[in-house]
Structure 1
Amino acid sequence: MDKKVQKQMFIVKSPCYKCKEMFNVALVNEEVGTGQIYGPEEFTKEEMRLAEEHGVLIKEQFSATRQESYYANTCPNCGVFVGQHFLFTEYFCEASYGGCEYETIDLA
């Protein structure tokens, strides 16, 4: 019998790299156990709502690297944002290996 692949939202509590204040970052592990993740730029309306209910500030931001705007996790203290590039290494991996506090929310 095949096991159903499930998605989980991670709410990671981490210090902002700029101002060092703690803030919440949301990402979704699309296939639990594979590390395939995505951030707010790909969130559904329901995922966006869940993240915001858990204290995550998501705003449209402009990325100079990508030369485009997209929705991103944003520090409520200083306004700096976490780009898609850093979600895996700096937040998902850190949380997965016990480097920072996080909670998970099972998604359908």
Structure 2
Amino acid sequence: MLGGASQPLDVGRTRRYFTKTQRLALARLQGGCTADGCDWPPSMCHAHHRTPWHAGGKTDLDQGYLLCPRHHARAHDPAYETTYHHHRITFARTRPMRT
């Protein structure tokens, strides 16, 4: 898939990190952190793969979610279950907190 200036928006497994063009497209589509209730702007977010890169995930626009650093860490924390909705993500604790 190509963007307006013939910039690739889907690069599959050829690149691990999202390109500048992809990040701009994600910013326009998602408007910032996609974690439910978070209002961090796109410029302060990371581009997160829905399916992790190490597990065969692709660097394609439909697989990218913008997350602020706190929510990006939570997405990789095994103590939380991540649920993907259309351009939104919610988290639920799966293990009790240690006291």
Q: Shorter-chain TM-score: which interval?
A: under 0.3
The TM-score with structure 1 as length reference comes to: 0.25
Hey, which of these two has a bigger chunk of helix by percent?
2
Q: Which has the higher strand share?
A: 1
Higher relative contact order (CA 8 A, sep 6+): 1
